[in-house]
Chain A
Amino acid sequence: MENLITGNEAAAWGARLSRVECIPNFPITPQTEIIETLAQWIADGDMDADFWTLESEHSVLSAAIGSEATGARTFTATSSQGLVLMHEVMYIASGMRLPFVMATVSRGLSAPITLWSDHNDFLANLNTGWLMFHAQNNQEILDSIIMAYRIAEDNKVLLPAMVNMDGYVLSYTKEPVEFPAQAKVDKFLGKYRPKHAFFDAKNPLVQGPAVLLPHDYTYFRYQHDTAARNALSVTRKACEAFRKQFGREYGLLESYKCDDAKTILVTQGSISTTAKAAVNAMRKKGKKVGLLRLRLIRPWPAKDVARELANAEHVAVLDKNVAPGQGGIMSPHVKAALFEYGAKPIVTSFIMGLGGNPESVGMFEEAVRLAEKDKRGGVLWLE
């Protein structure tokens, strides 16, 4: 059955169907509707979970660490300033290897302050050791939250996961979404019985010790890196299991008409749907253009990315973010992946869509035109 719901509602449904037990929270536009929806369900008795509002996002994530470490399946959501306020605790959550899920609703960062979406908030977390998924539409938000619990809670992974959506364009926009049956989700996720929950008086353990010997500290980091890398194959398997169970297909990436493409657009998030329309329009005019949508951002599926792009002549990476003095945040990732793979298409970095600047089919056509003229791989701003 399809339901017309917003991206925020889809995230709330993802949490509800995953039977989350603890929801520490703090409001911020455009995430608020997620926590309001959950609050109302709990108030109406439609959902059974602990829901409490803290005095800051820093405390929200700290509380999530407490509840997850005690053994309760935990969920939260934030955006923008809230997400960067959490930054210190992001590393602690992943370093403690606590597998909970946070929905993030992308919004540009201050100053100057904005309400509209870009990906600088989400991508500030690339090195925090979290799993990072970026959804393209409301269905994918709901599905990704369920999948994220399965991947995060896998014993080979045990890491927290972010599922990102673009503010407004998805968060406050209704789309038809199919709800997976609760019984099927229960089967897909299983009951949460973590082996690592350590607050047990009979078996007292320490979480967050001082590790002052550099060799030991390095080993903790090595294990963390290994766990994140393990998430590549665990995600692949989870996608396959999800397809079998629910009939919808997801991968680490989405490759759209890349096979014979001479020029490939690389995107993430909701702009990908407009970009696909642009690919279709250009294909109609006989241009061999394709699109690669990044879905799993961390761990970074470098080989998969390179394999899809290897035979193109030009690659246009469309970054809805900016690292001032450097360019787009994702384009160096794409370049590095190609370099390791030994493939040499010319990669042009485009900065676009900042502070909610809307994209259009024409903009992607322009990106292809400029990329095909580029001989050295530059950084260009698209308006």
Chain B
Amino acid sequence: MSELQTIADIPKENLLSGGTAACPGCGSITGLKMALLIMGKDTVVVNSSGCMTLLCNYPRTPLRVPWIHNAIENAPSTASGIIRAAKRLGKKLNVLCYCGDGATYDIGLQALSAAIARNEDFVYICYNNGSFGNTGDQWSTATPLFANTTTTPVGRKSRGNTLSRKDMAKIIGAHGCYSATASLAYPLDYLRKVKKAKEIKGPAYIELLAHCPTDWHFDSGQGMKISRLAVQTGVWPLYEVVDGVLYLQSDKTRPVEDFLKTQGRFKHLTKRETAAIQAEVDKEWDMYKTGEYWKTDEY
């Protein structure tokens, strides 16, 4: 494979056709389609219950690679069985877990952490749409502060989600394996990370911010713009954790408001709440700047 310097270097063989059940403008399915360009034909996709499960809607599949959907919390465990059996039987297979944030941050964290500790040879991409999407936008520990979701609804006595997002890419990085964040608005960066993850012998984790018009409440044509703003405002920093060292790859050049005002899930925010989110992001960035991110007392 070439070194992915320009878009022209991206492999062309498309392994995921159109006409699926995903919402128009869905970032999660774009992320899968792009990842498969790099993962290639010899890939088994292991999916956790979520929006992507509906891609393979009997009797049709949009995929030109094998696919297994087991349950919501066990993709990494399922993958471990595939990896070991394939090796034993001499089948050359890449294993890609493609799982939502609810499956990754919440119900499936135990299985994921254990699979990484066992050094299973897989690529795990968490497509983070910030909620339990398939069940209708319920709060997960990946939901951003103050977001309006169906289980943290804004009401006369509620301002939405009162808890900050768990920082999963760092938690996975702390396991000692490759861990990176990615954005669809930076496709070459994302694909380079997928390529790196594929080449690593052992576990590799990528967390892709997956814009979701349905739950974030924005016009389905605006996804890439919003994904770019997430990076530019510092809400979604791009970085890689390699051997326990975090390498920051993006810069914070705009106020968080530029990102927040694009989506209905934040439309109730007051100035003070926006400022609180800004302060949270600034605090995180201060830690990047001072190289303090791995101080244990911050957790």
Binding site for B on A (CB under 8 A): 21-22, 24, 50, 52, 54-56, 58-60, 62-72, 74, 88-89, 92, 198-201, 204-213, 216
Q: How far is the CB of B290 from chain A (nearest CB, A)?
A: 35
Q: Is the interface of B mostly helix, strand, loop or mixed?
A: mixed
Answer yes or no: B14 CB below 8 A from chain A CBs: no
Q: Is the interface of A mostly helix, strand, loop or mixed?
A: mixed
Smallest CB-CB separation from A203: which chain B residue? Answer: B66
Inter-chain contacts of B80 with A (CB < 8 A): 24, 52, 54, 59, 63, 66
Answer yes or no: B162 CB below 8 A from chain A CBs: no
Top 4 nearest A-B pairs (CB, nearest first) are A66-B81, A55-B114, A59-B77, A70-B85
How far, in angstroms, from A201 to B86 measured CA to CA in the complex? 12
Binding site for A on B (CB under 8 A): 41-44, 46, 53-54, 56-59, 61, 63-71, 73-74, 76-89, 91-93, 110-111, 113-114, 118
Q: How far is the CB of B50 from chain A (nearest CB, A)?
A: 11
* Given A55-B111, A56-B110: A24 and B81 interface contact (C-beta under 8 Å): yes
Q: In the bound complex, do residue A216 and residue B58 qualify as a contact, i.e. CB atoms below 8 Å apart? A: yes
* Given A204-B65, A206-B67, A209-B58: A71 and B42 interface contact (C-beta under 8 Å): no
Inter-chain contacts of A210 with B (CB < 8 A): 53-54, 56-58, 69
Q: In the bound complex, do residue A208 and residue B69 qualify as a contact, i.e. CB atoms below 8 Å apart? A: yes
How far, in angstroms, from A142 to B274 measured CA to CA in the complex? 67
Q: How far is the CB of A288 from chain B (nearest CB, A)?
A: 52
Q: In the bound complex, do residue A199 and residue B84 qualify as a contact, i.e. CB atoms below 8 Å apart? A: no
Q: How far is the CB of B106 from chain A (nearest CB, A)?
A: 15
How far, in angstroms, from A210 to B56 measured CA to CA in the complex? 6
Q: Told that A21-B88, A55-B113, A205-B67 touch, could you supply 18 new A-B pairs with CB distance under 8 A?
A: A24-B77, A54-B111, A62-B74, A65-B81, A66-B68, A66-B77, A68-B85, A69-B81, A72-B88, A92-B70, A199-B93, A200-B91, A201-B42, A201-B93, A204-B63, A206-B68, A209-B61, A216-B59
Q: In the bound complex, do residue B77 and residue A62 qualify as a contact, i.e. CB atoms below 8 Å apart? A: yes
Q: In the bound complex, do residue B82 and residue A67 qualify as a contact, i.e. CB atoms below 8 Å apart? A: yes
Q: When the two chains form the complex, which single residue of B76, B81, B93 contacts A67, counting CB atoms closer than 8 Å?
A: B81
Q: When the two chains form the complex, which single residue of B64, B78, B87, B92 contacts A63, counting CB atoms closer than 8 Å?
A: B78
Inter-chain contacts of B79 with A (CB < 8 A): 66
Q: How far is the CB of A120 from chain B (nearest CB, A)?
A: 24
Q: In the bound complex, do residue A199 and residue B86 qualify as a contact, i.e. CB atoms below 8 Å apart? A: yes
Inter-chain contacts of A64 with B (CB < 8 A): 81
Inter-chain contacts of B65 with A (CB < 8 A): 201, 204
Smallest CB-CB separation from B68: which chain A residue? Answer: A207
Q: In the bound complex, do residue B66 and residue A199 qualify as a contact, i.e. CB atoms below 8 Å apart? A: yes
Q: When the two chains form the complex, which single residue of A58, A63, A205, A213 contacts B81, counting CB atoms closer than 8 Å?
A: A63
Q: How far is the CB of B288 from chain A (nearest CB, A)?
A: 32
How far, in angstroms, from A64 to B80 measured CA to CA in the complex? 9
How far, in angstroms, from A88 to B82 measured CA to CA in the complex? 20
* Given A200-B66, A201-B43: A65 and B58 interface contact (C-beta under 8 Å): no
Inter-chain contacts of B56 with A (CB < 8 A): 206, 208-210
Inter-chain contacts of A59 with B (CB < 8 A): 74, 76-77, 80, 110-111, 114
How far, in angstroms, from A21 to B84 measured CA to CA in the complex? 10
Q: In the bound complex, do residue A54 and residue B89 qualify as a contact, i.e. CB atoms below 8 Å apart? A: no
Q: In the bound complex, do residue A66 and residue B71 qualify as a contact, i.e. CB atoms below 8 Å apart? A: no
Inter-chain contacts of B114 with A (CB < 8 A): 54-56, 59
Inter-chain contacts of B42 with A (CB < 8 A): 201
How far, in angstroms, from A63 to B79 measured CA to CA in the complex? 7
Q: When the two chains form the complex, which single residue of B54, B64, B81, B110 contacts A55, counting CB atoms closer than 8 Å?
A: B110
Q: With a 10 A CB-CB cut-off, give which of B66, B114, B118 has the most chain A CB atoms.
A: B66
How far, in angstroms, from A125 to B68 measured CA to CA in the complex? 24
Q: In the bound complex, do residue B110 and residue A70 qualify as a contact, i.e. CB atoms below 8 Å apart? A: no
Q: In the bound complex, do residue A209 and residue B82 qualify as a contact, i.e. CB atoms below 8 Å apart? A: no
Q: How far is the CB of B198 from chain A (nearest CB, A)?
A: 15
Q: When the two chains form the complex, which single residue of B59, B61, B78 contacts A66, counting CB atoms closer than 8 Å?
A: B78
Q: In the bound complex, do residue B110 and residue A65 qualify as a contact, i.e. CB atoms below 8 Å apart? A: no
Q: In the bound complex, do residue A70 and residue B71 qualify as a contact, i.e. CB atoms below 8 Å apart? A: no
Inter-chain contacts of A67 with B (CB < 8 A): 81-82, 84-85
Inter-chain contacts of B41 with A (CB < 8 A): 201
10 pairs across A/B with beta carbons < 8 Å?
A: A54-B114, A59-B80, A59-B111, A66-B46, A66-B78, A71-B85, A72-B88, A199-B82, A200-B91, A208-B69
How far, in angstroms, from A88 to B49 measured CA to CA in the complex? 13
How far, in angstroms, from A208 to B65 measured CA to CA in the complex? 14
Q: In the bound complex, do residue A63 and residue B71 qualify as a contact, i.e. CB atoms below 8 Å apart? A: no
Q: When the two chains form the complex, which single residue of B58, B61, B88 contacts A22, counting CB atoms closer than 8 Å?
A: B88
Q: When the two chains form the complex, which single residue of A72, A92, A198, A212 contacts B66, counting CB atoms closer than 8 Å?
A: A198
Inter-chain contacts of B89 with A (CB < 8 A): 70-72
Inter-chain contacts of A54 with B (CB < 8 A): 77, 80, 111, 114, 118
Inter-chain contacts of B113 with A (CB < 8 A): 55
Inter-chain contacts of B46 with A (CB < 8 A): 66
Inter-chain contacts of B111 with A (CB < 8 A): 54-56, 58-59, 62
Inter-chain contacts of B68 with A (CB < 8 A): 65-66, 69, 199, 206-208
Q: With a 10 A CB-CB cut-off, give which of B59, B68, B93 has the most chain A CB atoms.
A: B68
Q: With a 10 A CB-CB cut-off, give which of A50, A55, A68, A198 has the most chain B CB atoms.
A: A55
Q: With a 10 A CB-CB cut-off, give which of B44, B57, B76, B83 has the most chain A CB atoms.
A: B44
How far, in angstroms, from A258 to B6 measured CA to CA in the complex? 81
Inter-chain contacts of B66 with A (CB < 8 A): 198-201, 204-207
Q: In the bound complex, do residue A89 and residue B69 qualify as a contact, i.e. CB atoms below 8 Å apart? A: no
How far, in angstroms, from A198 to B110 measured CA to CA in the complex? 27
How far, in angstroms, from A212 to B64 measured CA to CA in the complex? 21
Smallest CB-CB separation from B44: which chain A residue? Answer: A199
Inter-chain contacts of A88 with B (CB < 8 A): 71
How far, in angstroms, from A212 to B92 measured CA to CA in the complex? 33
How far, in angstroms, from A269 to B153 measured CA to CA in the complex? 54
* Given A22-B88, A55-B110, A71-B89: A207 and B82 interface contact (C-beta under 8 Å): no
Q: In the bound complex, do residue B67 and residue A50 qualify as a contact, i.e. CB atoms below 8 Å apart? A: no
